[in-house]
Structure 1
Amino acid sequence: MQPVATAVERLGALADSPRIRRLADRFAEAGFELALVGGPVRDAFLGRESHDLDFATSATPDEILGLVAPLADAHWDIGRAFGTIGARLGDDTVEITTYRSDVYDGETRKPVVAFGDSLEGDLLRRDFTVNAMALRLPEKVLVDPSGGLEDLLAKRLRTPIEPEVSFGDDPLRMLRGARFTSQLGFALDPATADATAALADRIAIVSAERVGEELTKLLLSPDPVVGMRVLVDTGLAELVLPEIPALRLEIDEHAHHKDVYEHSLTALTQAIALERSRGHRPDLVLRLAVLLHDIGKPATRRIEPGGAVSFHHHDVLGAKLATKRLRELRFDGDTIKAVATLIRLHLRFFGYADTSWTDAAVRRYVRDAGEQLERLHILSRADVTTRNQRKAARLQHAYDELEERIATLAEEEELAAIRPDLDGEAIMAILGIRPGPEVGEAYRYLLELRLDEGPLGADEAEARLRAWWADRSSL
């Protein structure tokens, strides 16, 4: 949190930038109010940079367009029906919206758009008080009708009006609240948390796409575990991502096993730390895979003779469940496929830790992971959450060794692009066959040889192929 004086100075500097000053002066000269609103004002107090600037004004959309067009490098009116005109002013993207006082019908989260007549009224219809502050321009006067600055200082998320009314109007705000706890490090105030729990089922009127977008933003935040706990504790997760609260398996005195819910959140925290230490940007695929990697456990939980608990094939089932859920949330196909691959493979490493893998097994590990290998490295490491320090050290050493072997084989054999020594054209020429299933069968035979024995060279591969073909033809 920046000191108030520093934040005001930052806001003043932003308002005094030449393009924003020209914009503010142009609106004032035309007799219209203009104010910087929402996120950019909040972020000035948090010491965060903003290049996407939101403004509110007393001007109508047509009047906004007439005032902005001569100043902008580019402009667009795709949001005109909602009162919004967008423009690019140098390095800044701005959206300028007519004051709003929308009305909700209670059946959908889409309001009947109604234009308002005051900045204060516009601010009170926003989601949280910390986003309901504005800086009037060109005067540079802070407007805070609902105590947003006080809530910023207290790191508190509170709605400008009664939370039951706010969330009843737009249930997506409940998901945004969970997301802001992760993005900003703030906490829901008690009344806001209670209203979220009471109105959680209202989330059903929000489209799957918008739910998926909010979950994405939450997962890409600095600490998504905080927001996930809010979703679970308020009951929202039961409706938008029910596989996560289902991980809270009952642990009885006769069948002890790790708390799968807490394990998954700990693994997510560890994966994010590894993501950073290995030089990666926030990775949605990785974070989804880690969060969901054990969702097959509830359905596969079995108590074995002697009281041990097993979860056989939870990796396979988990990949299927994740695919289904992510499709319902409208994630793109590439993301879904990558997440499912990681979940399906997340147990593979533990076989290496327990036994000594051959080079062929290492090659198959790399081949099966494909483009997801680096993510699989992080997931496998993050999946170790045991408090047994000796076991944790053994597993870490085993994975260090596995990565070293992969690196060595990659250098020797171009492991990242494992292919047979002969391609399809060469196979057809050698065997004198036309395109068809037999070519694929021969290709797979050579690929297995490549995985088992490493590079053979074209001559040896041809000899082995001819011998295999002769044996096959004699059957």
Structure 2
Amino acid sequence: MPSVADSMVALREIAAAAPVVALANAFARHEHEFALVGGPVRDAMLGRPVTDLDFTTSAQPEETSAILTEMGAKIWDVGRDFGTIAARVLGETVEITTYRAEIYRDDSRKPEVTFGDTIEGDLVRRDFTINSMALMLPEMRLVDVSGGVEDLLARKIRTPGSAESSFSDDPLRMLRAARFAAQLGFEVVPDTQEAMVRLADRLDIISAERIRDELVKLLCAHDPIPGIRLLVDTTLAERFLPELTALVATQDDHGRHKDVYEHSLTVLTQTIEMEIARREDPEAGPDIVLRLAALLHDIGKPATRRFEPSGVTFHHHDMVGAKLAKKRLRELRFDNDTVKRVARLIELHLRFFGYSDQPWTDSAVRRYVRDAGTELGQLHILTRADVTTRNRRKAERLDHAYDDIERRIDELAEAEELAAVRPELDGEQIMALLGVKPGPVIGQAYKFLLELRLDEGPVGEEVATERLLAWWATIEKDAQ
């Protein structure tokens, strides 16, 4: 953590920004308190980039809107009922929230909000001490009622008051604890962890969308593993991702197979390392589809584990895992495209293994590319990351084999435009050659030509026409 002097310099720089000065002066003219609060204060003090400007004020939402309108700011509601107004001020997007207190009732998915009167009362109700600091503006006075500075220095995550009360008021805070542990590399203090265990079932009142969003934020961390471990250890993951906690039950104390849970975490770590190393755009964000696939790629193993004379087997765990992932991600309200792509990666993640024993034909390589589709680059990373063996010779053999398949894909792509594998004849040409109208037979003919393309590569329109007519003659003969 930077020195106190450096932290104050960072805070002064934020406070000196034109939009912040304009806002602070406007609220002061209307005799309302105004403060930078939460994440921006924390990140500035840690020397991290400040990407969001969150403010709190004594002004009621309608008063905030009036002040912003007077400033000529563009305004939109992101949660007026919860006291939050968003605006664009001098080119900067900001959120301003009225001092508040909120709690969840036992059977409610939404907080009940009441507005407060003091900055101290507002800060005490926030999630963690490191997020419970405010910089009063324009006077530049730091308000820290719960020891947030001390916890930043100690790299600790704790609630301002009773953890039971905090997590009862907003159970999502338990997931936020895991996320901050991963993002900041901080430790959640023991009594807060114990409260997470006791109140895990309280998470059931939170909407799937909010849980999904926290999971995504956690996976966006450079190292999400500490947060994932915390979710599993406190049984929170069991409430929304039971397939992950089921991997713990497949741990093997007798050495008959590798620890599936620890293997999955290692694969996720290696996936993130490769993803970052292979990014063509340094500004690109984390690949959530790939990270979800890495975390969940073996969730089909518990259901398929069999103890056989030859050893432990997990036959078809790729297919079972893909189905489980689809079901779980849909329940978490992930969009259809994400669900489809994650499931495809899980379904294909075993396809490569065995290539090193018997290199594939060109036809098999083409099918691999065809089946992976737009996820081919992600499949390359996931498949490589799935190698966690401690046997150096085996690891090197698999690495060299995948080098070879990537080389062959590149060579075939250059020679055959492999990324756009399609028959030489399109639907209109097929109908003209066969003298038929649109219908199921066109799809059958297209599939025949696609198989021809995959098996033999580009054959040209003339040969494709000859083979199609020969196929059609056989179809007509069988129909007689």
- Which TM-score band applies after superposition, normalised by the shorter structure? over 0.9
Please give the secondary structure, in 2, of the residue aligned with 1:350: coil
Query: What whole-Å deviation, never above 9, does each CA across 1:315-342 have from its counterpart, x for those lacking one?
Result: 0100000000001100000000001101
Q: How does 1:137-216 map to 2 (within 5 A)?
A: 137-216=137-216
TM-fit CA distance, 1:103:
4.4
Q: Aligned partners of 1:37, 1:202: CA distance in 2, in Å?
A: 27
Query: What whole-Å deviation, never above 9, does each CA across 1:40-87 have from its counterpart, x for those lacking one?
Result: 000101222224211111111121112122324411234222222211
Bigger mean CA deviation after superposition, 74-83 or 373-382? 74-83
Alpha-carbon contact 1:422-1:458 (below 8 Å) kept: yes
Q: Aligned partners of 1:60, 1:467: CA distance in 2, in Å?
A: 78
Q: Give runs of ≥4 in structure 1 deviating > 3 Å.
A: none
Alpha-carbon contact 1:57-1:96 (below 8 Å) kept: yes
**1:293 to 2:283 alignment:** no
Q: Aligned partners of 1:27, 1:179: CA distance in 2, in Å?
A: 33
Cα RMSD, aligned residues only: 1.3
Alpha-carbon contact 2:109-2:207 (below 8 Å) kept: no
**1:320 to 2:320 alignment:** no
Aligned to 1:133: 133
Aligned to 1:227: 227
Alpha-carbon contact 2:251-2:261 (below 8 Å) kept: no
Distance 1:342 1:325, change over 3 A: same
Please give the secondary structure, in 1, of the residue aligned with 2:101: coil
Identical pairs, percent? 62
**1:472 to 2:472 alignment:** no
Alpha-carbon contact 1:72-1:88 (below 8 Å) kept: no
TM-fit CA distance, 1:109:
4.9
Alpha-carbon contact 2:34-2:57 (below 8 Å) kept: yes
Aligned to 2:99: 99
TM-fit CA distance, 1:387:
0.5
Please give the secondary structure, in 2, of the residue aligned with 1:384: coil
**1:303 to 2:297 alignment:** no
Alpha-carbon contact 2:103-2:168 (below 8 Å) kept: no
Aligned to 2:43: 43
TM-score, normalization: structure 2? Answer: 0.96
Q: Aligned partners of 1:91, 1:6: CA distance in 2, in Å?
A: 27
Letter in 1 for 2:413: A
Please give the secondary structure, in 2, of the residue aligned with 1:70: helix
Query: What whole-Å deviation, never above 9, does each CA across 1:353-389 have from its counterpart, x for those lacking one?
Result: 2211000000000000001101100110000000100
Alpha-carbon contact 2:251-2:258 (below 8 Å) kept: no
Letter in 1 for 2:309: P
Letter in 2 for 1:352: Y
Alpha-carbon contact 2:293-2:345 (below 8 Å) kept: yes
Aligned to 2:406: 403
Alpha-carbon contact 1:106-1:169 (below 8 Å) kept: no
TM-fit CA distance, 1:252:
4.6
Q: Aligned partners of 1:95, 1:222: CA distance in 2, in Å?
A: 26
Alpha-carbon contact 1:77-1:84 (below 8 Å) kept: yes
Q: Aligned partners of 1:220, 1:369: CA distance in 2, in Å?
A: 24
Letter in 1 for 2:299: I
TM-fit CA distance, 1:452:
0.6
Query: What whole-Å deviation, never above 9, does each CA across 1:237-263 have from its counterpart, x for those lacking one?
Result: 11111111111214153x610000000
Alpha-carbon contact 1:51-1:93 (below 8 Å) kept: no
**1:339 to 2:339 alignment:** no
Aligned to 2:13: 13
Please give the secondary structure, in 2, of the residue aligned with 1:77: strand
Q: Aligned partners of 1:101, 1:243: CA distance in 2, in Å?
A: 35
Question: Match for 1:363 among 353, 366, 370?
Answer: 366
TM-fit CA distance, 1:153:
1.0
Alpha-carbon contact 2:40-2:50 (below 8 Å) kept: yes
**1:251 to 2:252 alignment:** yes
Q: Aligned partners of 2:460, 2:346: CA distance in 1, in Å?
A: 35
**1:436 to 2:439 alignment:** yes
Query: What whole-Å deviation, never above 9, does each CA across 1:288-347 have from its counterpart, x for those lacking one?
Result: 0011010000010001114x0000000010000000000110000000000110111110
TM-fit CA distance, 1:111:
2.8
Q: Aligned partners of 1:343, 1:350: CA distance in 2, in Å?
A: 14
Q: Aligned partners of 2:101, 2:331: CA distance in 1, in Å?
A: 33
Distance 1:389 1:72, change over 3 A: farther
Q: Aligned partners of 2:346, 2:365: CA distance in 1, in Å?
A: 18
Alpha-carbon contact 2:268-2:385 (below 8 Å) kept: yes
TM-fit CA distance, 1:14:
1.0
Aligned to 2:333: 330
Bigger mean CA deviation after superposition, 318-327 or 66-75? 66-75
TM-fit CA distance, 1:105:
2.7
Distance 1:430 1:288, change over 3 A: same
Aligned to 1:383: 386
Alpha-carbon contact 2:146-2:160 (below 8 Å) kept: yes
Alpha-carbon contact 1:35-1:56 (below 8 Å) kept: yes
Please give the secondary structure, in 1, of the residue aligned with 2:303: helix
Q: Aligned partners of 1:400, 1:90: CA distance in 2, in Å?
A: 51
Bigger mean CA deviation after superposition, 171-180 or 68-77? 68-77
Bigger mean CA deviation after superposition, 430-439 or 197-206? 430-439
TM-score, normalization: structure 1? Answer: 0.97
Bigger mean CA deviation after superposition, 456-465 or 49-58? 49-58
